[in-house]
Amino acid sequence: MSQPSQSMLVVSAHAGDFVWRAGGAIAAAALRGERATVVCLSYGERGESASQWLAGKSLDEIKAIRRGEAEAAAAALGAEIEFLDLGDYPLVESREAVAKLVDVYRRTQPTVVLTHPLADPYHGDHPAAARMALQARVLAQAIGVANSDGSFPSKGEIIGAPPVFFFEPHQPEQCDFKPDVLLDITEAFERKRSAMECLPAQKHMWEYYTQLAIRRGVQVKRNAGPNLGLPHETMGEAYMRYFPQVTGELR
């Protein structure tokens, strides 16, 4: 059994990003009995909802649709979810947005953080989300940095130094993404596929990320060694560590 203090925080630029890129890790954490919290900085209402705009929906209607889809996807994964509604295309970095994220860090007390890589020439919202996630992580550790309501945190509210993992972008070669962590998500993939199917606005992504999980699963097996006993249909996700791993034993 995992320790009840284990807590995953996923900072997602848009309402669908966490599903495609980290759904397996989120579902696996939930299956272990750990807490998983997703914070969506925006709904992806302008840049990732073309079908709804073409259908003549209003901005508020599109936000409601994307929120409902993301809530259903999070439930399928076994995660909590919240929305900061900061807008997209562009997602604008601000002190106020970072302060809201500091509150999220202190409230959820993450032991691991997942977010976007810091480079993406195709989508500036993604590195903007990563920069704010990293800045908030540092600020949330400082007892002298106030919460967004102006109050100062108690000793129990400040966080430690959780490791940060960047999840795989849509075009990794163009985003300086070279995975150094391969995660076995075989047992969790059914939940991930169910979550993907909660996002019909981006139905074209379902098969893409299923096939990517198969390819990363092949790499999981190839790098795990011959005696791990992984199933033939191993599914995987790829990640990059941002901070060094601290360990007392190399293995």
Residue 4 has pLDDT above 80, yes or no: no
**Cβ(102)–Cβ(147) below 8 Å:** yes
Band (59; pLDDT cuts 50, 70, 90): very high
- Band (218; pLDDT cuts 50, 70, 90): very high
The domains found in the chain, sorted by start residue, are: 7-241 (3.40.50.10320)
Eight-state DSSP code of residue 147: P
Strand-pairing partners, residue 118, are none
Residue type, 2: S
CA atoms within 13 A on the CB side of 214: 8
pTM: 0.95
How far is 157 from 145, CA to CA, in rounded Å?
11
pLDDT of residue 226: 63
Residue 3 has pLDDT above 70, yes or no: no
What dihedral angle (degrees, nearest 10) is formed by the CA atoms of 103, 179, 119, 116?
A: -30
Judge whether 170 and 122 are in contact, CB under 8 Å.
yes
| CA–CA dist 200, 223 (Å, integer) | 34
Distance of CA 52 to the CA centre of its chain: 24
Which residues, in sequence order, are CB contacts of 5 under 8 Å at separation 6+? 109, 111
Residues 118-139: tens digit of each pLDDT: 999 999 999 999 999 999 999 9
Digit-coded pLDDT (tens) for 220-241: 998 987 656 666 689 999 999 9
The pLDDT confidence band at residue 251, using thresholds 50, 70 and 90, is confident
pLDDT of 248 higher than 80? yes
Token pair listed for 222:
């190839």
Asked whether residue 21 carries a pLDDT value surpassing 80, the answer given is: yes
Mean pLDDT rounded to a whole number for the chain: 94
Q: Give the lowest-confidence range in 3-17, 22-36, 39-53.
A: 3-17
